[in-house]
Amino acid sequence: MNNACQTQKEDDIRPSAMAETFDPMRTPTGRRAMLWLPRGQSAAWLIGAFIVAAMVAAPVVAVAWIALFPTENIWPHLASTMLPRYLKNTGILMLGVGIGVTLIGVASAWIVTMCRIPGKRFFEWAMLLPMAVPAYIVAYVYTDLLEYAGPLQGFLRDLFGWQSAADYWFPDIRTKGGAIMVLSLTLYPYVYMLARAAFLSQSICAIEAARILGRSAWSSFLTVALPLARPAIVVGVVIALMETLNDFGTIDFFAVHTLTAGIFNVWLGMGNAGGAAQIALTMLAVVIALMVIERYSRRRQRFHDTTSRFQELPGYELSPLAKAGALAICILPIVLGFVVPSLVLIYYSIGYFDQSWTSDFFEFAGNSLLVSGLATLVAVGCAIFMAYALRLFPQPLLKFCVRLSSVGYAVPGAVLAIGVLIPFARFDNALDAVMRDTFGISTGLLLSGTVFALVFAYAVRFMAVSYGSIEAALGKVRPSMDDAARTLGESPWGTLKRIHFPMVRGGILAASVLVFVDGMKELPATLILRPFNFDTLATHVYQFAKDEMIEHAALGALTIVLVGVVPVIMLSRAISKSRPGHSGQS
């Protein structure tokens, strides 16, 4: 009765004209309704969000269209000859990487989170360092170290007096096994990051209950902590597998014929864009299958804490032997995935500094900064626009379109490049033909083969990264603050500018850094879409390494690694503070 009276009193004092003005989704009764045809500035937000979502989703639709309606259909030939080998190699690679990242990521996350080991604070962030090194750079470094003419085998031959490769056996790094090792060392941080966040968010009561019932620390991990963290672990593994599917530099250098290599072979080698699109569509099917598996794995799993007791985690004491094993599990991935590649790059950068520190290096670095910077502005700007539009109009159709626009990160760069370049090229050719026939002038390449195409592809691919950070930050702003600002006469843009921007600056900064670093490392899409005589640091490193001249590419590779360290530190700090009741101490 009191609530009803209070509601009536508020309705009596609310100015009806202002209610209709400040919120286009507020009805005269005070309830929010889904109005499909707002007017004025609100309409611009809604319509603009649909346009942005359509543009971002267009390359994926284009790939499907080109694959289903190719100019020259070579699908029967592909299906009977090369495709089975591509699928087999891709499957083996993904299986091996999936197992590798799961074992390394989950084991290290549990040890760092729940066990007392020396240097625990160091390992919390250092375990993420291999994420800063692109997999293709690690592949180049280890090939240089471990090949027959490399320093390691040369040292062994001098030490034992061996004369040729026939005198001893040494594993070949340029195999599927080598590719699995390299990708596992650089991609396990995805699993570590999400598994550690899941372990940190678990209430101590569930673990204590298992211990009271007689479970050991190992048994408590297997029966309680691991099942609770399984959804997060699966997400991390799926992300790692998507990155495996996107990789080109490693598999090309190791001569592993996967679906990604098939796109380059069919398109650039055979000159058949339709066949490349058909392989790309096959890759999309694999990506969709991974996403379905991730969703299916947690379809009915809902875990809620029934207590607010979030004290410091216990920190299990380990025996000397177990502690040594735990330290080995944490140290080896850091050493192999970050320290060794970084030391080799530093050594070569110093030794070949005069040959590398040239005007060409500054040009490549400038190109990388230009493309990554523009892509960051576009991706983050569009993410802010869509996140705020969805906040204004939480309609099912708009939610679907926004989610669809975020699928770009799951699409491999080579696939995305096809969806961008071919439609752009057809538009350029059609416009050029019309201008020639009508005015006798040639327009040339306006979209394809330009920086615009590259920036567009980057923005589409990394939209999900920026949108996720901004959506999370925007979700922490109370809706009542929007209503208060609009009641005082602020427009949607004014509310976003004066209220939301200051409150979500951290999320915008995080999104900007992540998109910028991903753009600096992106290789497959850059190789296909870059303009003529336009190289970035990534393509510069790829070209030299492909020609067995990693020494001359070391400075560029080291620059990419150093840029990648920044988000690693940011992510580590965010994860450490994610536990409820965090005290800031380990």
DSSP line for 331-367:
HHHHIIIIIHHHHHHHHHHHHTHHHHSSHHHHHHHHH
Does some domain include residue 529?
A: yes
Does some domain include residue 441?
A: yes
From 237-251, 463-477, 543-557, the region with the lowest mean pLDDT: 463-477
Query: What CATH number does the domain containing 376 carry?
Result: 1.10.3720.10
From 84-88, 297-301, 413-417, 420-424, the region with the lowest mean pLDDT: 297-301
Tell me what the mean pLDDT of segment 388-393 comes to.
85
Does some domain include residue 482?
A: yes
Token output for 271: 């000159």
From 351-355, 461-465, 522-526, the region with the lowest mean pLDDT: 461-465
Question: With left for phi above 0 and alpha for psi between -120 and 50, is residue 423 left, alpha or beta?
Answer: alpha
Tell me what the mean pLDDT of segment 284-306 comes to.
67
Does some domain include residue 369?
A: yes
Range of the domain at 525: 357-535
State in Å, rounded, how far the first CA of the chain is from the last one. 50
d(CA 400, CA 245): 25
User: If pLDDT is split at 50, 70 and 90, which confidence band does 330 have?
Assistant: very high
pLDDT at 433 over 60: yes
pLDDT at 1 over 50: no
Residue 343 in contact with residue 471, Cβ under 8 Å?
no
From residue 410, alpha-carbon distances to 213, 283, 384, 406 in Å are: 43, 10, 20, 8
pLDDT at 300: 58
pLDDT at 402: 80
User: If pLDDT is split at 50, 70 and 90, which confidence band does 20 have?
Assistant: very low
Among candidate residues 290, 330, 326, 287, the one with its CA nearest the CA of residue 130: 330
| 115 strand-pairing partners | 316
Percent of the chain with pLDDT strictly greater than 70:
83
Q: Which residues contact 56 (CB under 8 A, 6 or more apart)?
A: 382, 404, 405, 408, 459, 460, 463
Angle at 160 between CA 155 and CA 165, to 5 degrees: 75
More confident residue, 119 or 481: 119
Tell me what the mean pLDDT of segment 213-222 comes to.
65
d(CA 489, CA 18): 8
Does some domain include residue 30?
A: no
**Highest mean pLDDT out of 120-124, 184-188, 219-223, 435-439:** 184-188
pLDDT at 577: 63
Domain count along the chain: 1
d(CA 404, CA 273): 25
Three-class secondary structure of residue 26 per DSSP? strand
Does some domain include residue 63?
A: no
Tell me what the mean pLDDT of segment 367-375 comes to.
94
Q: Which residues contact 383 (CB under 8 A, 6 or more apart)?
A: 463, 466, 467, 469, 470, 471, 511
Token output for 537: 């640091």
pLDDT tens digits along 505-563: 877 887 888 788 889 988 888 998 998 889 999 999 998 888 878 888 899 999 999 88
Does some domain include residue 321?
A: no
* Rg of the chain taking only CA atoms, in angstroms: 27
Residue 345 in contact with residue 557, Cβ under 8 Å?
yes
d(CA 379, CA 191): 25
Residue 202 in contact with residue 229, Cβ under 8 Å?
yes
- Cβ-in-10-Å burial (0-12, 13-18, 19+) of 205 comes to middle
Does some domain include residue 132?
A: no
pLDDT at 295: 67
From 4-13, 128-137, 250-259, the region with the lowest mean pLDDT: 4-13
Average pLDDT, the chain: 81
pLDDT at 313: 58
